Structure 1
Amino acid sequence: MTDASTDSDKVVAAKVPFAELCGLLEKLSKTQGNDKKKRVLGDFVDSWRRLHNETHTDDADTTTDSFYPAMRLLLPHLERERVAYGIKETGLARLMIKVLCLGKDSPDAQRLLNYRAVKTARGDAGDFASMAYFVLKPRCPQRGTLTIQQVNDTLDAIASNNAAKKKSAVEDSILYLLKNLSALEQKWLVRMIVKELKVGLSQASVLSVYHQDAEDLFNVNNNLEKVCRLLRDPATRMHEIGVSVFSPFTPMLGDRAAPDKIEKIMEGRPYFIETKLDGERVLLHKKGDEYKYFSRSGNEYTNVFGATPFDGTLTPYIANCFKPDVDTCIIDGEMLGYHAASKTFGTKGEQFDIKSPNVAEAKGYQPCVMVFDVLLYNDRVLTNLPLRERLTYLDKVVTPVEGRIQLSEHKEAHSNQDCVEALNDAIDGREEGIMVKDPETPYRPNVRKGGWFKIKPEYIGGLMDELDLLILGGFFGEGHRGGMMSHFLCGVAVPTEDGSEPKVFHSFCKVGSGYTKKQLAEFNQRMADHWQAFDKRRPPQCIQLASGFKEKPDAWIEPDKSCIVQVKAAEIIASERFKVGCTLRFPRVEMIRDDKPWHQCMTTADIEDLRQKSGGKLTGGRMELGEDGEGEGAPTKKKRRIVQRAVQPQLMSRFRGADVSDVEQVSQVLSGKEVCVINGPADLTKQQIERKVKEMGGEFVQNPGSSTTFVLAEKVAVKVANLIKTDKYDIVKVTWFRRVLDAGHWIPWTPGDMIHTSPATRKQFQQDYDQYGDSFTEDVTEEQLKHIFSTMGKEGQGVATVTAEEIAELEEEYFPDESPYGLFRTCRIYMDSNLVIGDDSTHLPTSTLDLLALEIRFFGATLANELDEQVSHVIVDQKDLSRLEELKAVRRGRKKKFHIVTEKWVRACMEEGGLYPEKTFEL
């Protein structure tokens, strides 16, 4: 094992003992209170910065040295993608037993292997790190000799050797650490390896201690090393380094809102309204005569729109639109398709892609960028300025030219009524909706809850046209929908001249969502006796499909035996897949119309009227505010019943409310909210939480009443259990409250934040989240994803897994002709890439099969690390068949046989676009 690098005098991590970092972690774990913990960590960070300044007096501007070596150990879970040690508690236990030469049946070995069950005075059952400390204490030095850099180098060696399957090298590294670290250091090292530190500080808290903008910058680039390097100086702000020319980043996003809530959201302040544009989000970067175009997800489309004033579909037409004194700039906007003949903008529903020149031009559209924000002007980053001030720079940047580069119009508004009127204007103008923006907010990349709000008609009940369509056919489902019709072909009637019952129906759309599995099963049972197999040679005369049967059902049903379904969608778009010549965008079933007979479905004339009336948009109503300020288009809500508050009984002293006579209000986060705090954790007690509630402008009570907004609790005690039984209150976890404290602003609840939800909140969650708590509209964090996984599968049984077969079924159902990347989804493949060198048992991978392994993984295959019972294919190198007979011998002993093939079979599958018969390539 090597020591520190030769440049150790220029690296702070090589000067700081690992023992010092472990001492910090030990102190943090014993310190009570989030603020105190942050102060302790802050002292360590300050010391590191001072040492950094002393070390880099000569190369302060060029060095890449930063706090990253310590930060990656403080937040080991953020290194999951970059560093995979491949070792968990049981693996570590076996390694320790081996390198310490412990007998497998010895008490210490059993303590390590059965750490969850062992109960001793010195060890904590269930905590492997503490049990390892107890076992290692008499066997390790009193104080370690390694620096933070040496520990990081060793951990990187463990990761690389684990990936290369060099077990002996991994054991050597573990032995090196055992010899040179104390038991206390080993305890924290174990927690770093398993990536669960348990010091009571959240990721957001640790990052905020390092720098006030660290979390925001990490959310933008997901690169911990870059965050630590760019924010070395606490005086440097993110807006000064997070946005730079020709470097892609995720733009600021809009949160979902309702127009009758805008006054409350804006707290009575004026706000801006803009039209929501139905195009492609684009960030245009300019430096001199160089241009780059990036999408919302960071994809570059410069090759389409043009890198210089002499190429591309847009740059030649806008290069002269920039003011002469503009050298560098970054503008945020929407890339739209402009129809020069009609002087109108196209929509996504018209099925053209503005990024595809041939398709766009064929439909008469030219690219036009609608600019609504400017983020950089002549090397000055503007993101930290309020929106109101940034907008003044738009006129300094470009001169608008119709149909090529235009400035989005915005108007100032003050009330809910202003917002409703703007939405109704957008509906009348056949627009997608409106954007509401707080003019005092800075620009925050990759943030959805930063002061921008999107409002669409489909977010509001009662504003969208609903279509009554007749089910004409069905498509068999797969996976959990197997054995029944899961998707349905819907159609409309061809009206008769005499007004009699229609005899012919045209296909119109395919719908497969909007109903639960139970509802689907009940409907299938109801229609089971009426389905008939669809024969494409003799199709039914009453049902007419598009030429070539582009949407051919597996079964069809006589119209008079069928039923009408009420379908909601965003708009009607052109399509050659259906006989009507158009179809629905984002259709979903709202209900089965048992009240209407089959022949009263919509007709082809009705569909044409809708297309002509609103250009395909299915917004059929206008929103009006009621006397109470609630939107009449929105679902009705029960009026809150006013109940005289009863005198609350006195509690025991330890349950009484906190004395807040000396508390000063510092924010409006909980203004107007009444909170009942039941209990809290040891480091944030009930009384401390109540004081924080008061600081944030809220009120607290000891027993919830009719005006209580929500209840806070850490654990389900007797009182919490009784409140759950009443089913009246939202009971929220204290972990959510901690996030609010760290963020300094209100954070909407997610299902993972709740101990119990009231009926109203449950209803809202059902609209915004699936049954596992995964949002339909919001990106999840790592912690939220863990919670979602923990709720899947059997109730209370932990994480559920999705099999490769289920993934393949989904791909076949939803992307049958679009994605080749599930080609090997059902295959579990073992790569015979192990070459034995002489008598040495070291296995070295061959480059040919290693590259092939990466390729087939990209196309959906599951790679097995060993030849287990589930392996379906073994791929061998054509140049080395030395283990062929051994593999055949293993296959003979298996109940489930596997195929032994070469790379040629893989290539044949890729050329065929499906799994090619293995027999041709079998060895």
Structure 2
Amino acid sequence: MPRYRDMPMDDADNDEDVDTRKLTQEEEDIDAKYPNRPRNTKPSLHFSVLYRELFNPLLANLKKPSAGPKILAQRKKPQEKRRDIINRFITRWRKDVGNDIWPAFRLIMPDRDRERSVYGLKEKALGSVLIKVMRISKDSDDAYNLLHWKQPRIGGSSDAAGAGDFPARCYDAISKRALRTEPGDLTIDEVNDLLNQLAEDSKNHLPVLQEFYTRMNAEELQWLIKIILKQMKVGATEKTFFDCWHEDADGLFNVSSSLKLVCWELCDPEFRLNVSDKGVKLMQTFQPQLAQFQLKSFDDVVKKMQPTETDKVFWIEEKLDGERMQLHLNDDGKFKFWSRKAKDYTDHYGSSVDDEDGTLTRHLKDAFKPGVRNLILDGEMVTWDPIEDAIVAFGTLKSAVIAQKTDDPSAHRPFFRVFDILYLNDTSLINYTLKDRRNALLGAIEPVSRRLEIHTYTEGTTVEDIKVKLREVVAEASEGLVIKNPRSLYSLGDRNDDWLKVKPEYMKEMGENFDLLIVGGFYGQGSRGGGRMSSYMCALKAQDGRFYSFCKVGGGFTAQDYNVIRHKTEGKWHPWNPRKPPTEYIELAAGQAERPDEWIKPEDSLIIAVKGASLGPSDQFKTGVTLRFPRFMKLRDDRSWESALTVTEFYHRKRNMEQAQEENEMQVEHRRAKKRVRKTLKIAGADETVDPVSVNNDHLFDEMDFWIMTESSKPRKSKAEIEGMVKASGGKIFQSDAAAESIKCIADKSVVKVLTLKKKQIEVIRPQWIFDCLDSSYLLPVEADRHMLYIPPGSEDKFEGTVDAYGDSYSRDITVEELEKLLQESGNIKLEDEDPVSQTDISDLKEEISELDPPIGWMFQHVVAYLDTPENATRNNISASPEEILNAYRQSRSRLDNHNNMSLLLCQNLLDFGNGRVVVDFEDPEITHIIIDYEDRTRVKAIRNLLRMRDKIPRVTLSDWVEESWRDQTLLPAENFPIESS
């Protein structure tokens, strides 16, 4: 495709002169801004050099070839070889082209190039253009494969390779009809010019892609597509490229977010940045500090936050559900807003307080205290609903910006919550502690209600402080927490333990398992691709027999889980047709954005147990409610599709969860909750009113009659409340025993009415029976001790068979109080006609179970484990002799019980519970596994040298193998938890 500098000379010389002047002016502007920028003196390298000498070798380096010990010892480590590949390319560039490597780096790291605008091309749109470029029929197999790239490939091969990998799918189609077999003649500079044209004309991509197709072979085009999609995974991180280019490159990028600046300012390897150049600069975007992912336990979090015994205080902040944003204000009163990915949002939020188009800055006239000339703030931009007076869920910022331009006071609005200040009055604050920066923030900001406010925090010192706050944010349907060290400095572009995020999905007591039916599947992409389902849509059973969409679950599955589900449902899936959805089986929400790629009939499907951190409203699912942070727990082979959780049962369990939170003192004040006026429910004959009870077992007590005579003492419920629960579940309320036949008389105290019934020899049932029925969603048999206040003489046999000899119910789950009482009294119970269990019986039982999947109590029955201790990591190194290491093992093993490494102690307990055996002697020939912690990798090579002479070589594996096996309730392959010798 011709470009302006390639146009032939004709009579329009004046037009060409104008273009030339524009180009010259552009270069002059660049020279003025970057006076010391390098200039390449030689032609650019061909694009083929980029992937032949850089991309492909880096990917090959990821695949570690097998080799013997001597060869492995001589071979360079992957990280060393990775740097050698990059350094060779950079050296060739400097020699053959020049010192300006920006043209190459913007293709190597396209997601970091802020100079080029977006292309407006995603996979499906790019596939449509390629179909036109290659001039293939839209009805052909290749066209279908390009447009349905997540699904298995059709035509010619049943192999599903490339499913979920769009560039690979494109290569498959292009290679059949490529115009070139050898690499093309396009240089890196020419590729950049064409990509600029592609970005400038977002409505007409065809001419540029046509030129790429004409001048590139299939492999070049595959890499080009990765660049356009900004999905470059070449086996090396951007930090590795930066470190190979210049020692200060990563630091400069963190404070500037400019790839061009890094390439131009640091073209000389001998040049070093001043300390002032490595700090944040006003009106220049930077890479913000990020929170580290949560550690294994809250105890670990607290230890990281308390490095000394003198100051143990840490800060607990609510994790906001918005977009990370930095605000810059200069002396002229000009604002700039940048996102975490350095995207400029100034047009959205405003450039000054006088900017009438700005949705935020026009409200910030009084947001800064006198004396503040310039500053940089770090915070979260969220959406605020002024009607609900609450933060709206993530993903609504764009609509809030549009709504604010209507000046509707009730519309959603952008709301900036500030949690840090990095620059104030010409002074960088990144080398000050978080505590000092907070003091500076308080002295600089004058909060503007629901426009710009300082994010609050709570001080903590213990694990319980974290749990209390986490319960609070879960109750408010929040994102989670961020734990911060107030003594820490600001780390640009880093993710470290000074900031730790804690999400509610990690709190076991906050979750609730739901048995849900799979009704749809979504194809994965990238590493989760391959034409297989990576996530599933789950549903609840409605009264009309159909299934209502409830949530999408994609986390928690292992490879084995996917294989089992695929095997059990193979051949039963159907492509989802948006024009003709299977509404006779499945009902989606009217505005549901994500629709499954395939669906399955309920009778052909499976039930899975799903755990969620909390429940929240959602218009993306038919139920109107969905799980936050859903996670797969296990496959429910013991349940048929007909027994899936119903909508009614779900809402009943939702009520139970809310009651459990109250009983465990986990409910806190809902600061954002909207006050509502509720109607009262009048009960015939009652002298009080009661709020309607949210019980959804609508027909549990149908055709049943009740006379409620007293309140209940435990749990404490008034007479009217109990009547409301019965009535809401279909029961009828009467005020005497003569009003109906077979009436159930309910009382918890021996009042006069009850004494009258006793004289008449009429049964009196405690209210506890009603509560238990509602909790289980079934009509339970009445138990004598728990449910009966009065049993007429001669009716005792009626209640036999409801509990065992210990008093444990056959029909419902036992409570904690009942279990305590049962354990206290079990020692006094003697069972008749019980023969002692012999060792032969146990051996026979083990032999039978070994042919099936063993229960969790016998999971490790064939494991003989030696637990390595981290004490040796500080005392031994890999150069120690085998005899020294062995002696050290024997000495340290005797102290295992007192060791502070909870991971290995946990392993010992789990092995004991799972019928495994832990040995003390390292030379024990029966050892099957040597279990080591992450911190002990440096000694693995020495351990393996010790084991080489044994006839039976144990497997050396991570302690995670034991913990993950116990969590998944199956013995996982130990080879999935390898340790490399270092």
Length-normalised TM-score, structure 1: 0.46
In our comparison, the structure showing a higher alpha carbon Rg is 2
Length-normalised TM-score, structure 2: 0.44
